[in-house]
Amino acid sequence: MKRTRILHLLQSDKPLDNVIIMGWVRTRRDSRGFSFLEINDGSCLKNMQVIADSSIADYEEIKKITTGSAVAITGSLMESPGKGQKWELKADNVEILGIAPDTFPLQKKRHSDEFLRTIAHLRSRTNKYGAVFRIRSELSFAIHQFFKDRGFKYIHTPVLTASDCEGAGEMFKVTALDMDNIPKKDGKTDFSLDFFGAATNLTVSGQLSAEMFALALGDVYTFGPTFRAENSNTSRHVAEFWMVEPEMAFSNLTDAMDLSEEFLKYLTGYIIDACLDDLELFAKYVDKNLMTTLEGLLSSDFTRLSYKDAVDILNKSKQKFEFEVDFGKDLQSEHERYLTERHFKQPVIIYDYPKNIKPFYMRINDDNKTVAAMDVLVPNIGEIIGGSQREERLNILEARMDEMGLSKKDYWWYIESRKYGSAFHSGFGMGFERLLMFLTGVTNIRDVIPFPRTPNSISF
Ligand code: 4AD
Ligand code: MG
């Protein structure tokens, strides 16, 4: 049986006979001699209204159809006399594929996001979560389109790795050792006996691998899952998230900032064009200012200022912060949000951070105190992108690694890229879920990823 997606039927410019739709019943209403069914098949936000009258075979069966049931309906697409929809389907045949008993948790009423998280396997059948995950899908495609249009090559970087790109030590270990019988050497786990013969973890970033490919293919990007075992139970952190990381050879920090701004504007414009129906749901029920915020990003030139100037602004502000602001300390989310939401009221790029709070690979500035790093901050989110120009000078990179206590032996391959035809290059990483939060106004990162992984939560 060939089904037609409801999305396509609703765009029809003429009545059609013999169409088949399959989907899930949102509601059923009976009146004398008729039943009305609202069917959603996930292809779009809108439902198809189906009218079944008592002339069809098994009409009595229809009265058994409950909210959540899966059905297949054959009928004619006709102009709807009712208000609110152009088309409706007059059923010739209704087949119940799978009934949903009244224990189905998504009966017609509003449910809290907290409750829906406990049924993450079903929540995509609601309007809101259907919309989130359609936008997520479109956004993935838009990312590939953006880079393809600009000649970037897509690189699949490994998920299993022996290096800690960000140097924060927040890694999930991966082992094939018998956990009940761990081999030891000098009191420590002997990873030489493990699967890879070395301590292994899930990647925190594909950047180091992407750099190797930028230094071969020119402009590249990665887009894949990354993992962080940071035990911060916030509304902006998950343990497994997707990151987009472009890396450009022969590029400096300004090039990375320019690309980040162009990238965010492109993706925002793309989603406004491609997903307007779904976006309007968020603008109506989730964040009344959503469209203003999105238009604001599209029309602004992102403010660019140094970390030092950002610290000055924060110190001069009358705002009370929980965490102290001081040169040499990392900015907290409250500081970032103050800058982008209250002070500048638009996206902000902060650059030249103190080197002691940043990873080993960032390029040291001439002052020898700061590095060529940048973070992009947007309203409602704070940091959405982090990037830098990379240290391409062999001797300075090695000195920095020594200073930070990193093993040059472990990173021999990374160091070799600075030995053979080293070239200045830069890139950044964008948290995919953070962008989805920005685009939808959803305030908890758990609600924009299908099955969130957070401390003490691995169901589904
Ligand atoms: O700033 P981060 O740690 O930068 C890097 O990993 C670099 N290696 C990227 C690069 O230059 N290629 O992470 C980049 C972005 C952050 O700005 C944030 O949007 C997101 O990744 N992010 C998270 N998103 C969700 N949950 C978490 N725990 C995240 N940690 C970072
Ligand atoms: Mg960062």
Q: Give the residue from 333, 335, 329 showing the smallest Cα distance to 314.
A: 335
Residue whose Cα lies nearest atom 25 of ligand 1: it is 237
Give the pLDDT confidence score for residue 166 in this predicted structure. Answer: 87
What are 124's two structure tokens? 């995509």
The DSSP output letter for 324 is P
CATH class of 123-168+204-447: alpha beta
Task: Please give the distance, rounded to the nearest whole angstrom, from the Cα atom of residue 429 to the centre of ligand 2.
Answer: 8
How many other β-carbons are positioned within 10 Å of the β-carbon of residue 95?
Answer: 14
What are 18's two structure tokens? 């013999």
Task: Please give the distance, rounded to the nearest whole angstrom, from the Cα atom of residue 66 to the centre of ligand 1.
Answer: 44
Return d(Cα 325, Cα 338) in angstroms, integer.
Answer: 12
Task: Please give the distance, rounded to the nearest whole angstrom, from the Cα atom of residue 385 to the centre of ligand 1.
Answer: 7
Give the pLDDT confidence score for residue 124 in this predicted structure. Answer: 97
* Paired sense of beta strands 16-31 and 48-53, if any: unpaired
Q: Give the residue from 301, 225, 310, 304 showing the smallest Cα distance to 264.
A: 301
What are 174's two structure tokens? 């991966």
What dihedral do alpha carbons 102, 107, 112, 113 form, nearest 10°?
90
Q: Which atom of ligand 1 is nearest to the CA of 434?
A: 19
Q: Measured from the CB, is residue 390 less than 6 Å from ligand 1?
A: no
Q: Which of 152, 241, 245 has the most ligand 1 atoms within 8 A of CB, as the residue to mutate?
A: 241
320 within 8 A of 341, measured Cβ to Cβ: no
72 within 8 A of 39, measured Cβ to Cβ: no
- Tally the residues of the chain: 460
Q: Which atom of ligand 1 is nearest to the CA of 232?
A: 28
Q: Measured from the CB, is residue 220 less than 6 Å from ligand 1?
A: no
Output the CA angle 72-133-228, nearest 5 degrees: 140
Q: Measured from the CB, is residue 165 less than 6 Å from ligand 1?
A: yes
Q: Which atom of ligand 1 is nearest to the CA of 230?
A: 28
Coil vs helix vs strand at 347: coil
Q: Which ligand is nearest to the CA of 205?
A: 1
204 within 8 A of 170, measured Cβ to Cβ: yes
Q: Which atom of ligand 1 is nearest to the CA of 428?
A: 11
For every residue of 17-84, DSSP letters joined together read EEEEEEEEEEEEEEETTEEEEEEE-SSSSSPEEEEEETTSTTHHHHTT--TT-EEEEEEEEEE--STT
Give residues with Cβ within 8 angstroms of 382, minimum separation 6: 236, 333, 336, 337, 340
Return d(Cα 350, Cα 208) in angstroms, integer.
Answer: 23
* Paired sense of beta strands 382-389 and 370-378, if any: antiparallel
Q: Measured from the CB, is residue 363 less than 6 Å from ligand 1?
A: no
Distances (CA, A) of 57 to 61, 106, 284: 9, 29, 41
Residue whose Cα lies nearest atom 2 of ligand 1: it is 386
Q: Measured from the CB, is residue 194 less than 6 Å from ligand 1?
A: no
In terms of phi and psi (left: phi > 0; alpha: psi -120 to 50; beta: otherwise), the region of 368 is: left
Return d(Cα 443, Cα 286) in angstroms, integer.
Answer: 9
Residue whose Cα lies nearest atom 31 of ligand 1: it is 431
pLDDT (tens place) for every residue of the chain, 460 residues total: 789 999 999 999 999 999 999 999 999 999 989 999 999 999 999 999 999 999 898 888 899 999 999 999 999 999 998 888 899 999 999 999 999 999 999 987 889 999 999 999 999 999 999 999 999 999 999 999 999 999 999 999 999 999 888 888 899 999 999 999 999 999 999 999 999 999 999 999 999 999 999 999 999 999 999 999 988 889 999 999 999 999 999 999 999 999 999 999 999 999 999 999 999 999 999 999 999 999 999 999 999 999 999 999 999 998 999 999 999 999 999 999 999 999 999 999 999 999 999 999 999 999 999 999 999 999 999 999 999 999 999 999 999 999 999 999 999 999 999 999 999 999 999 999 999 999 999 999 999 999 999 999 999 9
Return the CATH fold of 6-98: OB fold (Dihydrolipoamide Acetyltransferase, E2P) (2.40.50)
* Paired sense of beta strands 48-53 and 70-79, if any: unpaired
- Going from N- to C-terminal start, the domains of the chain cover 6-98, 123-168+204-447
What dihedral do alpha carbons 208, 210, 213, 214 form, nearest 10°?
-100
Q: Which atom of ligand 1 is nearest to the CA of 376?
A: 17
The DSSP output letter for 338 is I
Q: How many CA atoms lie within 13 A of 436 on its CB side?
A: 28
Q: Which atom of ligand 1 is nearest to the CA of 168?
A: 3
In the block, tokens 């410019």 appear at: 13
Give the pLDDT confidence score for residue 58 in this predicted structure. Answer: 84
User: Which residues crowd ion ligand 2, with CB under 5 Å?
Assistant: 386
* Paired sense of beta strands 160-161 and 200-202, if any: antiparallel
Q: Measured from the CB, is residue 211 less than 6 Å from ligand 1?
A: no
